[in-house]
């Protein structure tokens, strides 16, 4: 397990140059925006417009902050997303446009290379103690706001807002957490 502190996340321009992304984790560690196997990041969307195209990539997006946006994914009906919505999965290599009906938002993105990898993203609200099952995979547990402590297989630690816990190549196990926080769990598996 490795804690990724908010202050250490890498900031970089969007692939289409229309904004900035905060990269939480990427694999391989030295991968660029064009050759990652998987990538987890946050971005502020401040105006209506197209998403960057990522050939061969699947993407899941969750709205972290703001009053929501409407995503128009080619071939699908428009989907409104808010902080209360479940994360939305879609291919990252088709045209996608975002509309912001009520101001800017911040989102969380999980992206994996379609050939060989798959992922899930779930929201977890913590109010007290909770046990979170971990799949046999690489997992990233992201603390969006609040604070918590965690335990897993005798290891302990704490996360503050914006921090993440990267658990690489885990066997099926559980993460025990205590605190008050809104979190997201990304699980990345090989096909």
How does pLDDT run across 125-144, given as a tens digit for each residue?
Answer: 999 999 999 988 899 999 99
Domain boundaries, the chain: 10-115, 118-190
The one-character DSSP state at 159 is: E
pLDDT band for 62, please (50, 70, 90 cuts): very high
Rounded-to-10 torsion of CA 164, 167, 173, 177: -20
**Three-class DSSP category at 95:** coil
Question: What are residue 88's DSSP bridge partners?
Answer: 61
Does the structure show a pLDDT above 90 at 172? no
| DSSP state letter for 180 | E
Q: How confident is the model at residue 183 (pLDDT cuts 50, 70, 90)?
A: very high
Superfamily name and number for 118-190: Jelly Rolls (2.60.120.10)
Distance, in Å, from the CA atom of 187 to the CA atom of 63, rounded to the nearest integer, reads 18
3-state DSSP of 36-75:
CCEEEEEEEECCCEECCCCCCEEEEEEEEEECCEEEEECC
Q: In CATH, which superfamily holds the domain spanning 10-115?
A: Jelly Rolls (2.60.120.10)
What is the C-alpha to C-alpha distance for residues 123 and 184, in angstroms, rounded to an integer?
4
- C-alpha 155/C-alpha 103 separation (Å) is 41
pTM, full prediction: 0.93
Whether residue 50 contacts residue 42, with contact meaning beta carbons closer than 8 Å, is answered with: no
Domains 10-115 and 118-190 share a fold: yes
The pLDDT tens digits of the residues spanning 68-83 come to 999 999 999 999 999 9
């Amino acid at each position: 397990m490795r804690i990724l502190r908010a202050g250490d996340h890498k900031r970089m321009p969007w692939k289409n140059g229309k904004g900035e992304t905060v990269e939480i984790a990427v694999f391989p560690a030295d991968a660029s925006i064009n050759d990652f196997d998987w990538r987890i990041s946050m971005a502020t969307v401040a105006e209506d417009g197209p998403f960057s195209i990522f050939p061969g990539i699947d993407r899941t997006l969750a709205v972290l902050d703001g009053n929501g946006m409407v995503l128009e994914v080619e071939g699908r009906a428009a989907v409104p997303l808010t902080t209360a919505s479940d994360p939305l999965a879609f291919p990252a290599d088709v045209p996608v446009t975002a509309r912001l009906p009520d101001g800017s938002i911040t989102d969380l993105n999980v992206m994996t290379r379609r050939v060989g990898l798959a992922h899930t993203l779930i929201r977890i609200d913590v109010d007290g103690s909770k046990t979170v099952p971990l799949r046999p995979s690489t997992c990233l547990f992201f603390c969006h706001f609040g604070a918590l402590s965690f335990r897993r297989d005798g290891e302990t630690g704490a996360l503050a807002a914006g921090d993440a816990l990267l658990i690489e190549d885990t066997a099926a196990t559980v993460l025990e957490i205590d605190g008050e926080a809104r979190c997201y769990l990304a699980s990345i598996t090989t096909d």
